[in-house]
Structure 1
Amino acid sequence: MATPTDGNDLVYAVALLAAGVVAVPLFKRLGLGAVLGYLCAGLTIGPFGLKLFSNPDSILHVAELGVVMFLFLIGIEMQPSRLWRMRKDIFGLGALQVSFCGSLLTMAGFTAGIPLTIAFIGSMGFVLSSTAIVMQILEEKGKAATAPGQRIISTLLLEDLSIVPLLAIVAFLSPFSSGEGFNWLNALIAVGAVASMVAAGIWLLNPLFAILASSGAREVMTAAALLVVLGAALLMELSGLSMAMGAFMAGVLLSESSFRHQLEIDIEPFRGILLGLFFMAVGMSLDIKLVLENWVLIATAALSCMFLKSLGVYLAARSFGINHREAFFRGALLTQGGEFAFVLYAAATAAGIFDARTAATLSATVIISMALTPVVLMLQQRIIKKSKVDLKDIDLPEELSNNILLIGFGRFGQMVSQPLLAKGYDLSIIETDAKLIRIASTFGVKVYYGDGTRLDVLQASGAKDASMILVCVTGTETTNKIVNLIKTEFPATKIFARAYDRGHALELVHAGVDYQIRETFESAMAFSKETLLELGVDAEEIDEIIADTRQRDNERFQIQMTAGIYAGNDLLRGNTPVPAPLVKPEREGQIFDQSDQDIVTPSNEQTVSPEATT
């Protein structure tokens, strides 16, 4: 960053924010996407634009934390069981694509007269697609959770992991290498760092977050989330591995944690801001002078590499059994080089494989390919034939078809969950009580930490894709807040809710829930039945009495709904005592429910008075 004069540091922060705020909405409105907006914003205010910043490398170094946090969030979605299910896509399709595209680009570069070593390193840098750009576009298009999206993410994971052996190859190919061969000490340090992270993830992190959650200090939870991400990245970097790999591993280790949703929410704002800053820094780094001096070479290199990589991605996908439409989309989306190319090229320059001009030319080629990706996608969408979609083309993962979100795991929620889990439904459970979460884990039930009254928590918990949301929390205000939030943000999702009493049940019906039940109603019916049995009443007569009670209760409920007296009524809320004696159900002219403390007089349905009991 340019050296600011005293007291003017804030000018640069304002300039960065203003550039992003102006450019991104404009580019999204034009259909070019947020990524291209950030890149152009950085180019505009950088050393080759308005010259507000003269040293974009300093910004890029800080902004790389956005990529680190992005990979953490990717990792936290990748439970070990899920990674195992995706092993074919990761180590099959991903490895095939990287090796095939790398060979194709290397041979093209060597044929063009580039030395083999430079052609190989330059090509492999271009092969590593931009995780940040691809994930951003997948999220914007709503494809991240689809089957093609998951296959693309699998490939990105393999590409991100490939940076580790590629950096090792750069060190081996370095003319400054001592030639002593494999460094066992560095390898042991790297293995020790990975083992330490795994141990911390298994035995340390969950108890730590449980203690912090029970303290109720939300800002400390946020600080702890940042500490985990940055600490893991630092540990991997110090051990000779990549920061990105450390963040991804930390995410995977916490993917089974009860606090994963809360961690996602805490990290997301930092990830978004820093990732935008990263793209702006990349835009600033584009050396316009170099591009203008060598525009034919760089333009030819960028377009040729993009075409060859897209072709390689398409052919690899087709050879793996993927249909034409998806393979074509993959080729357009993964056409660019990525942020790890800068890391690889910097390492090659430091190792003496590249000179500074070669590294700058290759970096400019990658940046241009990143900037052109939204344009390529627009062309792809126009070229591809828009065929009718039938059931076999639906890309939602199979488990989402029966996905149910249960909010609240108290005594009511626990009983609700048991039949659903026994039937094998995919049930996502969130709860704010850390003690309940720990107890549930001892019985093998996975409960996540999260506040259902917050939209970001609901989104992170899968509410958008849920077929049904069960609101089983305690407290009328909390339940109402959650129901209203769901109806506003996810209006098509079915809502089953727990009601406190009759008045609350009426409020929930008015709010538009699909099903509600008073928390004590069924247990009271069962209790009454057993009492009558003990008193010697005939079983058939008991069934008739219970059925009649249910019918009368339903009639009262419908009358009260029609009367509209449920909102804000102290008597219905249970705040006004109902005097004795109790009135028999047969008494003409009154409808009475002592258990819920509500009375309705049919002749005057808007009148609710304690005197009606006498």
Structure 2
Amino acid sequence: MAASETIEAHSLLSDALVILGAAGIVIPLFARFRITPVIGFILVGMLVGPFGLGTYVGQFPWLGYMTISDTARLEPFAEFGIIMLLFTVGLELSFGRLWDMRKQVFGLGALELIGCAALIGSGLLLLGNPPTTALALGLALALSSTALVLRIVDPNRPVGRAALAMLLFEDIALIPIIFLLGAMGQGSEAQSTAELMSVLIRGAIVVAVLLVAGRLLFPRLFAQAARTKSPELFLAASLLVIIVASSATGAAGLGPIVGALIAGLLIAETEYNEEVETITKPFEGLALGVFLITVGMGLDLNALFDDPWPIIAGTAAILLTKAIVTGVLLRMMGARRGTSAEAGILMSSPSETTLIVLGAAVSAHLISREDAQFWQMITALGLTITPILAWLGRRLARRVDRGAPLEVGATPEEPRAIVIGFDRVGRLIGEMLDAHGRKWVAIDLDNDAVIRAQADGLPVVFGDATREPMLDKLGVENASAVVLTMDEPVLAQRLVKKLRARFPELPILARARDARHAASLYRAGASTAVPQTLESSLQLSEAVLVDIGVPMGPVIASIHEKRDEHRQLIREEGQLTAPPSLRSRSLRGRGPTGDGNPEPEPNV
């Protein structure tokens, strides 16, 4: 027994080594060439799976350290990836946005699924399949990949919004589809009508409890976690919510993805949604990577090469049918030709949930295991080429819409300033930006300060600005400026250095404790650093001069002159010890220099 446990532990460690090694190689390598890592993970699965290098483990035992022979061990982790993805979808949506999308979800989404299933099922019926088999395969193959499509497409584009609506309906319809197949089944696992109603009642109760408990408990849970300012505790609270919600709906028979989606929707209604999404993102990416590796492991290239034409013909027929149905529906609903074409091609491949529906159909004896393996091969092949289909769709859309005006909503949003830290100084900066009609958003880790600001209707979010994904969520790439007001010198200096390395032309304005700290911020790449001691001295000097009878005009002029003089001295002190690259950037900046005039841009 001890020996078997040792072997099992060794196998798990070997699998973990392969997965983490794949993530460490695939993500940076494919990012370098601007290719989605989806393809890389699938290729890794093909390489290290039982149909790849795993076939040679008997001849070369050392390959056992580089391959994964038991795919069943990875299934829980792959399922967790889908759960995390649906949780992220819920965070992006919120109940308000889902309600706004109800016509698209239950209109376009329902028509797309029913239309594709009817056309595919009719084709299979004409090929001699029984009606129940044709219906089961039609419903399975009509589904599209939530895991891949939402990773590839931008949900803020028209194509992304249409795809999101269709995918949401498919995820909602998955459970009824499985029960429908069970009710039609002829085997021991077929569902009776009474069992189906029992599951639906239990599921409705669980969902109602989650909605009520989530509204009452989630804000309090995350508020307590936020007050500790411990990222570990905040992450633990996030994973606890996901696992509890998924387990509850899974135990009720609705499936864990329903609970994950509800948990995401509930957290999206709180002020902690940005931080939760940022802190759980690495888990989602790694778990989805495991899922994609399992997809690649299911591709038997030997079977494909031995008799490729049936698989190629079946894949082409499914892709063409779904692309035509989806594109025509979108066109009928008023979408542009380019949007319809791109969305149709993007949604044409089968889904990871197709494998789940095929398994349910086999259990209900609606299709044979041999036929299921054939369609599983087509599904895996379709998932593998989904990123290529997305690329082809974008190319076709540009060709179709060449010369056409931009769609409504395709123009970028007005840039806004990002204020990091929302204490007394941050609030005053926000008020001044409002006074001059400038858009802004602030971020702070002080939960109580965020709650007070949101109660006043101010655009302040809870989150850790030192994490790059959080700033990316706030739109730092298109920000008009970044203002650092936190009273933490070392942290501010590190953040300025990171921001300047990523965005050489971004205006970065920082609050400094004193002249020495301001010089350090200039060395790190700040456009402007304002020492607190200097400003308090200038304000006091202004009050003294006015009180002793000096006219206001000359006082203000002299104060401005003295401020510019000190800033220039501090800036030059920072330049003397800064690296040449930062020296040139900070001298150029994006604002006025010491003499009050903008410096000309150097020739490049």
Q: TM tier, shorter chain? A: 0.7 to 0.9
Deviation at 1:66? 0.9
Counterpart selection for 1:111 from 126, 137, 146: 126
Mapped partners of 2:83, 2:119: distance in 1: 29
Q: TM-score, normalised by structure 1?
A: 0.80
Q: Which runs of 5+ in 2 are unaligned?
A: 55-66, 579-604
Q: By how many angstroms is 1:456 displaced?
A: 3.2
Partner of 1:73: 88
Matched, 1:5 2:7: yes
Rounded to whole Å, the distance in 2 between the matches of 1:288 and 1:167 is: 29
Q: Which amino acid aligns with 1:232?
A: A
Map of 1:571-590 to 2, 5 A cutoff? Answer: none
Find the counterpart in structure 1 of residue 106 from structure 2. 91
State the 1:122 CA deviation: 1.5
Amino acid at match of 2:139: M
Name the SS for the 1:305 alignment partner.
helix
Alignment of 1:444-455 (within 5 A): 444-445=457-458, 447-455=460-468
SS of 2:348's equivalent in the other structure is: coil
Shift of residue 420 of structure 1? Answer: 4.3
Partner of 2:176: 165
Q: 1:225 aligned to 2:250? A: no
Distance across 1 between alignment mates of 2:24 and 2:574: 47
Corresponding position: 1:411 with 2:424 = yes
- Please tell me the residue identity of whatever aligns with 1:458: L
1:131 CA displacement: 1.4
Return the letter of the residue paired with 1:558: Q
Q: Distance in 2 between matches of 1:351 and 1:116?
A: 14
What SS class does the counterpart of residue 354 from structure 1 fall into? coil
Distance in 2 between the 1:162 and 1:347 partners? 14
Tell me the distance in 2 between the aligned counterparts of 1:159 and 1:149. 15
Count of aligned positions: 560
- The answer to whether the Cα contact below 8 Å between 1:525 and 1:546 also exists between their aligned partners in 2 is no
2:382 to 353, 365, 369: 369
2: CA distance between counterparts of 1:562 and 1:178?
Answer: 78
Q: Kindly indicate whether residue 32 of structure 2 is the aligned counterpart of residue 40 of structure 1.
A: no
Q: Percent identity?
A: 27
Secondary structure of residue in 1 paired with 2:243:
helix
Displacement of 1:503 after TM fit?
A: 4.8
**What do residues 531-570 of structure 1 show as CA deviations (whole Å, max 9, x unaligned)?**
666x4848xx2233222222233234335545668979xx
Structure 1 residues 442 and 132, CA gap change in structure 2 (3 angstroms): same
Determine if contact 2:345/2:390 at 8 Å carries over to the other structure: yes
Give how far 1:264 is off.
Answer: 2.1
Counterpart position of 2:140 = 125
Structure 1 residues 517 and 564, CA, compared in 2 at 3 Å: closer, same or farther? closer
Partners of 2:575 and 2:30 in 1: CA distance: 51
Gaps of 5+ in 1: 569-614
Return the offset for 1:429: 2.5
Q: Secondary structure at the match of 2:144?
A: coil
Structure 2: distance between partners of 1:552 and 1:433: 35
Structure 1 partner of 2:18: 15
* 1:547 and 2:557 are equivalent in the alignment: yes
Of stretches 476-485 and 419-428 in structure 1, the one that deviates more from structure 2 is 419-428
1:312 aligns with 2:334: no
Whole-angstrom CA distance in 1 between matches of 2:9 and 2:192: 52
Which residue, out of 97, 118, 131, partners 1:82?
Answer: 97
Deviation at 1:423, TM superposition (A): 7.6
8 A Cα contact 1:100 1:316, kept in partner: no
459-468 or 231-240: bigger deviation: 459-468
What is the Cα deviation at residue 81 of structure 1?
3.2
Q: Once the 2 structures are TM-superposed, how far is the Cα of residue 310 of structure 1 from its aligned partner? A: 1.2
Query: Which residue is 1:153 aligned to?
Result: 164
- The residue that corresponds to 1:586 in the other structure is none
Whether contact under 8 Å (1:102, 1:124) holds in the other structure is yes
Q: Which of residues 348, 363, 368 in structure 2 aligns to 1:355? A: 368
8 A Cα contact 2:199 2:252, kept in partner: yes
Q: 2:213 aligns with which of 200, 206, 229?
A: 200
CA distance in 2, matches of 1:517, 1:560: 10
Letter in 2 for 1:218: P
Partner of 1:597: none
Report the AA paired with residue 160 of structure 1: D
Which one-letter code corresponds to 2:47 in the other structure? T
Compute the TM-score of the two structures, normalised by the length of structure 2. 0.81
Native 8 Å contact 1:290 1:361 kept in 2: no
Equivalent residue of 1:204, what SS? helix
Q: Distance in 2 between matches of 1:268 and 1:48?
A: 31
For residues 24 and 6 of structure 1, what CA distance do their matches in structure 2 show? 28
Q: Which amino acid aligns with 1:63?
A: A
Residue 338 of structure 1 and its aligned partner are, at CA, apart by 0.7
SS at match of 1:402: coil
Aligned to 2:268, the other structure's residue is in SS state coil
1:293 offset after TM fit, Å? 6.8
Which of residues 413, 419, 423 in structure 2 aligns to 1:400?
413
Q: Which moved more, 1:442-451 or 1:184-193?
A: 442-451
Preserved CA contact (<8 Å) 1:57 1:281: no
CA RMSD of aligned residues (A): 3.5
Query: Is this contact kept in 2: 1:473–1:498, CA < 8 A?
Result: yes
> 1-side partners of 2:398 and 2:301: how far apart?
37
Task: Indicate the residue corresponding to 1:190 in structure 2.
Answer: 203
